[in-house]
Amino acid sequence: GESVGLHLPTLSVQEGDNSIINCAYSNSASDYFIWYKQESGKGPQFIIDIRSNMDKRQGQRVTVLLNKTVKHLSLQIAATQPGDSAVYFCAENRGQGNLIFGKGTKLSVKP
């Protein structure tokens, strides 16, 4: 069925290295994508978003890339810090208001 999913359930990186978290989506009609960070016991925290008319968007230490040809989304975190340890979700909006979330990737940062 149609879903938003992630390639890896866990990712471990060394502090200071760059992290790349991937996401695949299947609905070509989706026009808005968001990355959320969720720490244990907390609600999802907005990181960055991108609309389907863009390929790349940069924020502070984060970059989101969108490849509509292969329906792939990625989140790059530069100079990963211990505070970046969390579960990261990609979500898609199909224009109906509700978000469809993937299962998440748990990022662990080793000091």
Partner 1 sequence: DTGVSQDPRHKITKRGQNVTFRCDPISEHNRLYWYRQTLGQGPEFLTYFQNEAQLEKSRLLSDRFSAERPKGSFSTLEIQRTEQGDSAMYLCASSGAGTPMGATDTQYFGPGTRLTVL
Residues in the site for partner 1, rule: CB under 8 A? 4, 31-32, 34, 36, 41-46, 49, 51, 89, 91, 93, 95-104
- Provide, rounded to whole angstroms, the least separation between the CB of residue 85 and partner 1: 16
Token pair of 36 as six digits:
């959320």
Question: What are 106's two structure tokens?
Answer: 């748990």
Least distance in angstroms from the C-beta of 37 to partner 1: 11
For residue 56, give both structure tokens.
């790349």
In the complex, minimum distance from the CB of residue 16 to partner 1, in angstroms, rounded to a whole number: 29
Structural contact between residues 50 and 64, judged by C-beta atoms closer than 8 angstroms: yes
Closer CB to partner 1, 7 or 51, in the complex: 51
Sequence-distant (≥ 6) Cβ neighbours of residue 77 within 8 angstroms: 18, 19, 20, 21, 61, 62, 84, 107
Nearer to partner 1, 104 or 109 (CB): 104
